[in-house]
Structure formats: C-alpha cells, structure tokens
Structure 1
Amino acid sequence: MHDDEFAPDNDWVPVSPGNCDSVAGPFYHGTKADLAVGDLLSAGFRSNYDHSVVMNHIYFTSVPKGAGLAADMARGPGRPRVYLVVPTGAFEDDPNVTNQKFPGNPTRSYRSTHPLKIVGEIESWELFDPEFLRHLRERIEAGMGEIIN
C-alpha cells in the first residue's frame, strides 16, 4: 500500500448501524472459499486467525488490497479470492483496528452481523510483499493473532 493509503482521516466520523448508509462502497471480502455470485457470506464460522473463536460478525473493507491480505492469510485449501460484496444490513467500523491500531478507520474496515451478498469477484489486486506475509503468518502461529483480528 502507499504510505498515504492508511493515513489518518482528520474528518473521520465513526461508522455505526445508525449512519452506515452514508458509507459508499464498493466493498470487498477476502477468503479462500470458492463462492459464486449471489452467495451469502455470514457470521458464525471459525476465525481464520484463531480456530477456537467462532465469529459473531462478518468483516469487509473498501480497500481491495486489505481484502487481499485477508484472503492470503485465510487458512485452508484454495487460492486467495477477493469478492465484491454488498452488505444486506447495518454495519459498523471494525473495532479491532479502529482507534486501537490506527486512529480513525484508515483501513476502511467494517463488520456486520448481517450477511454480505457476493456480487462479483476481482481477479487481481495489489499484493503484499511475500516476506511481510511470511512474518505475519509466523506472528499468528506464535499466538499473536490479535495483530490482525
């Protein structure tokens, strides 16, 4: 990512279920699951980063490279995929990164208890450096999954 891509947004307004309709997409979700247009992604599955955790939310972003990172880091077989998605209900800023790891929501990461509808798949996105991915996987395996959850 470019240095300014995750720069703090001084005009940031927290996204909540009450104002999420003001957030424009497009939105993306990264995974290794082989899905089709029209499928729904929903919460209730095990985390890609800690299999002891069942997710109460489905996560998505408006940054294709961020979705690509999630796809690269997902466990299991299959190739990384980035789907173009539409939320089917209210959503909010992802509190795991918003104001915890970054001021505001510069990663444009969100979560919802409502499903995401797949409306397309993007075939390419800006990739992270392989060495960065290797280091991140090592940290997750060492029990530091909270760095990206």
Structure 2
Amino acid sequence: MNMKFDPNNAVIKLCMRGMSLEDSGSIEEAITMFHKAWHETTDDYERFLAAYHLARLQKEIADKLKWMEASLKYAQEINDENVKSAYATLYLNIAQCYEELGDSDNAKRNFELLNSYKSTPSDEGPFYHGTKADLQAGDLLTAGGNSNYEPELKMNHIYFTANANGAGLAAALAKGEGRERVYIIEPTGEFENDPNVTDKKFPGNLTRSYRSKSPLKIVGEEIEWAKLTTADRRKWHKNLAENKGDIIN
C-alpha cells in the first residue's frame, strides 16, 4: 500500500496552519489548531499526523509520550511503505521520553527499534522531476544547476520525487519561461532522502522526496498532475521570498 501525501487534505492544512502559528511564536494558538486537526480526523493517516504534532508541543513528558505512542500506533495500523519512513523519528522521540522519565529499559528497547528502521530508501518509484527545460527520453539530468530557491547556490545533488504533484510544484517554481514539464526519470546511482524536507514539517519523508549525486535518466513525460492556481502560485512565491531557512546542499 502506498498513500499519497496530499497538501490539500483538510487535516494536513490545519497542521500546516498550526506550524505557521508555532513559527510566529503563538504556541497556545498552535496547540488549539492541532487539537482542531485531531478532532477533524477521519482515518488513521490523519490521526497519525495530528497526534504527532500534538505530541511535539506537550509541556509534560508523560503527555508527549502518550501522544507519540498514539501517533506510532496509528502509523502501524496503516501499514504503508511511505509512512514507515516516519517510524525512526517516532521511535527516537518515544525513546527520549522514556529516557527523561528514567525508564531505561523502555528507552533502550525503542532506541533499538529506531536503529532497525534507519536505512537507505527502498522506494521503487515511479519517480518524477519537474522543470521548464525541453528534454527528451534518454537525456540525463545532472547535479550542479542553480537552486530554484537560492539562485546563487550551485546544487551538489539532483532532486526528484515519487509524487507527480510534488514534481509539478517544482516545475511551477523552476526558473525559465518554458512550459512546465514533469518527466518520468530513473536514478542511475544511489539516492537518499531529501534532508530539506525529511523530518522538517512532518515525520519521516512522507512527500517521498529524494536526491542523488548521480544523473537521472529521462524515460518519459507525465502529462497529468495537479496544476497550481494563480493564487497558490503567488502564495508559494511569497513563501519562498520570505523563507530564511538554510538549504542543506
């Protein structure tokens, strides 16, 4: 089973709103927003995400542990390969809670479980890369281009995703005047989770975003993905302009 991360999901949108409030220092309002998200959940995937965010902002360690264990329980109920990317993060948080509570046996057990889920990505795709460049099957995409987010930055990796809509977003934000293209690609070497998104907003790598130092080979073109509205496009460009975070290159 492979679930698609959907930024238009109502609960995910509430969690994103909560994170924005948190970033602006409005912690109590953020907690209220995460509780709203929790009360609007309709399935285990949404419960897994809302519980995780509620856990992060708990003042008492015992409460944080309760919500983290709930998040893990719902994640395991889904039995989804994408969600398994969050297991290591959840086990780490749970182990640290037990450590702070002085329960060394449970801390040790969860640290061991964490290590069993730390591995290279096993995602089998299909994979996509979004750009405005006009390319053909057989062409190679290589590292060394300028970042879409920091134009002065030469990228040491080439980025791709198993989410066609995510590649479509990258195409919309790419420099250039050409039409937005989403290519189906095959990695030619090893790849890793994109550290710029993994564990940044949501646990693990739910957006299935990756990077490689090896070229990506174009094998075809995807023609169907969710296009950004003009309002969404403006919002994304505004967010990028205001983003002060460093890119992990």
Give per-residue Cα distances to partners, 1:99-140, cap 9 Å, x unaligned.
012211110000001110000001221223331211111232
C-alpha spacing 1:96/1:31, structure 2 compared with 1 (3 Å): same
Write 1 or 2 for the structure with the bigger share of strand.
Answer: 1
Contact 1:85 1:119 in 2 (8 A): yes
Contact 2:172 2:228 in 1 (8 A): no
Q: How many angstroms apart in 1 are the aligned matches of 2:146 and 2:152?
A: 7
1:19 pairs with 2:108: no
1:82 pairs with 2:182: yes
C-alpha spacing 1:148/1:108, structure 2 compared with 1 (3 Å): farther
**Superposed displacement of residue 147, structure 1:** 9.1
2:225 maps to 125
1:71 pairs with 2:171: yes
Pairs within 5 Å for 1:51-66: 51-66=151-166
C-alpha spacing 1:48/1:34, structure 2 compared with 1 (3 Å): same
User: What secondary structure does 2:84 align onto?
Assistant: coil
1:100 maps to 200
Give per-residue Cα distances to partners, 1:2-23, cap 9 Å, x unaligned.
528x75555226798x634x32
Aligned length: 145
Give per-residue Cα distances to partners, 1:1-50, cap 9 Å, x unaligned.
3528x75555226798x634x32110000000101000000100111121
User: What secondary structure does 2:172 align onto?
Assistant: helix
Larger RCO, structures 1/2 (Cα 8 Å, 6+ apart):
1
Among candidates 108, 111, 133, match of residue 211 of structure 2 = 111
Once structures 1 and 2 are overlaid, which stretch shifts more, 119-128 or 107-116? 119-128
Q: Please list every run of 5 or more consecutive structure 2 residues that lacks an aligned counterpart in the other structure.
A: 1-5, 13-44, 50-81, 89-116
Q: Which runs of 4+ in 1 moved over 4 A?
A: 6-10, 13-16, 145-149
Q: How many angstroms apart in 2 are the aligned matches of 1:24 and 1:56?
A: 23
TM-score, length-normalised on structure 2? 0.53
Contact 1:139 1:145 in 2 (8 A): no
Write 1 or 2 for the structure with the bigger share of helix.
Answer: 2
User: What secondary structure does 1:11 align onto?
Assistant: helix
Q: How many angstroms apart in 1 are the aligned matches of 2:169 and 2:204?
A: 20
Bigger-Rg structure (1/2): 2
C-alpha spacing 1:84/1:10, structure 2 compared with 1 (3 Å): closer
TM-score, length-normalised on structure 1? 0.85
